Amino acid sequence: RLPQRHVPRRESLAECAAREAREEAALRLRRVRFASAVNAACAAARYHYVTVLMRAEAEPGAEPRNREPHKNEGWQWVKWDEFPPAEQLFWPLRCLREQGYNPFTEDFEHLKGYTGSHQLS
């Protein structure tokens, strides 16, 4: 499970990701930026979500704390190559992993400075 929520109006994707990590896992994030988007659909499961995934850095030595025990069993750091089996993952994360995505090897220079928000005039 990842910190998640719908994005409220007037909040950028980066602001939303930082707030959710703070509220759900007591983590303060820095360098929050866009990582990917997944259009995950499964007709048989009546499931369809468009999910935006953000990348960020936690403060060095930070440990997540479960601030919503009524929603979540707990948090732990897991190495990317040691994730649980695909069928146990949050569906969009499963989709990305099955496509070979790795946030530690992806080149994101084309997104430098992008916070996930465009303001139209």
pLDDT in tens, 99-109: 888 888 876 66
3-state secondary structure of 96: helix
pLDDT tens profile 43-56: 888 878 888 889 99
Report domain extents, the chain.
Answer: 13-102
Residue 2, CA distances (Å) to 21, 44, 54, 97 in order = 9, 24, 11, 14
SS3 state at 47: strand
Classify domain 13-102 by CATH number. Answer: 3.90.79.10
pLDDT band at 62 (very low <50, low <70, confident <90, very high): very high
pLDDT surpassing 80 at residue 31: yes
Q: How far apart are CA 121 and CA 71, in angstroms?
A: 39
